[in-house]
Amino acid sequence: MTHGDPAIHRYSGQAQRIALLCALGGTLASLVGLVWNPALFFRAYLVAYTFWLGLALGCLVLLMIQYLTGGGWGLLLRRVLEAGSRTLLPLVLLFLPLLIGLHSIYPWTTQAPGDQSGRAIYLKVGFFLGRAAFYFVVWLILGYLLNRWSTDLESGRIPRSTRRFRLLSGPGLVLYGFTITFASVDWVMSLEPKWVSTIFPPLYAVGQLLTGLSFAVATLLLLSRYSSIGVNLRPNHLRDLGNLLLTFVMLWAYISFSQFLLIWVESLPEEIPWYLRRTRGGWQMLAFLLVVFQFGLPFLMLLSRKVKENSPSLATIAGLILAMRFFDLLWWIEPAYPERTAWFLVLDVSTWIGLGGFLMWWFLRKLRERSLLPLHDPYLAHYLPEAVPNE
């Protein structure tokens, strides 16, 4: 059964071809990098993987949030969020290259024998792998159930109510908070095993939400521009999306700055090197760009109602934030390694594009499977009356 405007199939077909080309080109370039300098490749892979995993999990979390809060924005974004959360499945397989390069990525894999400190016990390879398996099982179950029930709701196999979605989403958000706390410590914070920041997991989680939201907003606006989502976006819809984006931009800035302020004021020898490494040797330029383009500019632009209600400008801001998310993760991960060659940036970007091309191809395939609006959601008539199908 096909849904919606045939235009979506034409344009998404084109987009899928572009995505496959990106996947092919990026992967080839990255493979050259792998042969040339494996250590550099695996770091680049960690940056890219962290970005795309953040996109998938951000979509999953926003999907749960919109079931709990309700509102027109949730109905508009739901299909994009669902398809985004379904990229989790290939991401499980794509975790395997990280395991191959584990020794090039994480310095703690070579421990002094007989080290029985808590840190050494927590960072044992076996324990690390067991935890990773647990996170993926939790996320996959949440994503599978929410997507499965969504198709069931559409085909009428389950009662026309969002009760079971809400019952899962509440505990689901708690589970996400629990798993992402440990996952962020395992995968990114442990790159510098001596460094500890208790506010880092929330920062990592908000980064994922910001990635998911800016991706979903940009995708929705592109869809409504180049084909049809089945309903015209009204100024108040665009305003809601813009305000949500503004909220997450501010939250990201607030938590980022809190971490910086505390570490700067204390200036402790275990903590301050993290920022010293990231504000010298050229990294201060990237830090400056992050402050300007992931906070300053989007913040000031999104204050204006005119900008929010203008679909192309809102899409541009969302795209800018999405791109800056990649550079933010790059700024977190790359400076952790003392030695690097001039080509690392090229390798980072090509790996990002290669991995992303494949995942976007998968995303578009999943997006085409369902109507672009949840037509059987009981709240559709309340929030988007003009979209209710005539039966």
By CB under 8 A, name the binding residues for other proteins.
236, 257, 260-261, 264-265, 267, 303, 305
How far is it, in rounded angstroms, from Cα 144 to Cα 243?
29
Half-sphere exposure of 9 (CA within 13 A, CB side): 9
Closer to other proteins at the Cβ: 134 or 257? 257
Closer to other proteins at the Cβ: 150 or 256? 256
Contacts of 204 (CB under 8 A, 6+ apart): 180, 184, 188
Contact 26, 355 (CB under 8 A): yes
Closer to other proteins at the Cβ: 36 or 288? 288
Contact 375, 390 (CB under 8 A): no
Q: Shortest gap between Cβ of 284 and other proteins (angstroms)?
A: 15
Closer to other proteins at the Cβ: 160 or 306? 306
CB atoms within 10 A of CB 46: 25
Residue written as token pair 């550099």: 40
Closer to other proteins at the Cβ: 2 or 267? 267
Closer to other proteins at the Cβ: 136 or 275? 275
Contacts of 382 (CB under 8 A, 6+ apart): none
Residue written as token pair 């813009």: 242
Q: Shortest gap between Cβ of 330 and other proteins (angstroms)?
A: 23
Q: Shortest gap between Cβ of 291 and other proteins (angstroms)?
A: 12
Q: Shortest gap between Cβ of 363 and other proteins (angstroms)?
A: 34
Closer to other proteins at the Cβ: 24 or 261? 261
Contact 179, 93 (CB under 8 A): no
Q: Shortest gap between Cβ of 126 and other proteins (angstroms)?
A: 41
Q: Shortest gap between Cβ of 264 and other proteins (angstroms)?
A: 5
Phi-psi region of 113 (alpha: psi -120 to 50; beta: other; left: phi over 0): beta
Q: What token pair was written down for 113?
A: 């024998």
Q: What token pair was written down for 37?
A: 């300098």
Closer to other proteins at the Cβ: 36 or 264? 264
Contacts of 170 (CB under 8 A, 6+ apart): 68
Going by C-alpha positions, the residue among 188, 146, 153 that lies closest to residue 167 is 146
Q: Shortest gap between Cβ of 245 and other proteins (angstroms)?
A: 18
CB atoms within 10 A of CB 246: 17
Q: Shortest gap between Cβ of 236 and other proteins (angstroms)?
A: 8
Closer to other proteins at the Cβ: 280 or 305? 305
Contacts of 64 (CB under 8 A, 6+ apart): 142, 146, 168, 169, 172, 173, 176
**CA distances (Å), 318 to each of 128, 216, 220, 230, 376, in order?**
34, 9, 11, 22, 29
Closer to other proteins at the Cβ: 181 or 258? 258
Q: Shortest gap between Cβ of 257 and other proteins (angstroms)?
A: 7
**CA distances (Å), 29 to each of 16, 41, 43, 48, 162, in order?**
20, 10, 15, 14, 45
Contact 3, 371 (CB under 8 A): yes
Q: Shortest gap between Cβ of 310 and other proteins (angstroms)?
A: 15
